[in-house]
Structure 1
């Protein structure tokens, strides 16, 4: 009975997720994450300590 109970919960969650995605304005998580990464890179480049003369990358 354990596999039936766990698969029922998974199926119910999948159906609810599909319903919410189709009927509500859910943000695109991948696009949101990429925007956050780009902003973090921009901030890092602007506030990074300047390199010393002897430092090599």
Structure 2
């Protein structure tokens, strides 16, 4: 009885996830993360402090 009780929430979550993925437009997480990383990298390079090198 213990394994059924502990795995019930996992099975229901998996079933709900399958239902949502099939019936709704779920965004692609890899592409979303890649876009966020690209934007963060752009902001970092834009607002980075100037280095104090005398070679420039």
TM tier relative to shorter chain: 0.7 to 0.9
Residue 17 of structure 2 aligns to a residue whose secondary structure is helix
Counterpart Cα distance in 2 of 1:34 and 1:6: 35
* Deviation string, structure 1 residues 8-51 (Cα, Å, up to 9, x no partner): 21111101100100110011122111111110000000110011
Q: Unaligned regions of 5+ residues in structure 1, if any? A: none
Moved over 6 A (4+): none
Q: Unaligned regions of 5+ residues in structure 2, if any? A: none
Q: Kindly tell me the number of residue pairs found equivalent between the two proteins.
A: 54
Counterpart Cα distance in 1 of 2:26 and 2:8: 24
The normalised TM-score by structure 1 is 0.83
CA drift of 1:53 comes to: 1.1
Aligned Cα RMSD in Å? 1.2
* Structure-2 residue corresponding to 1:3: 3
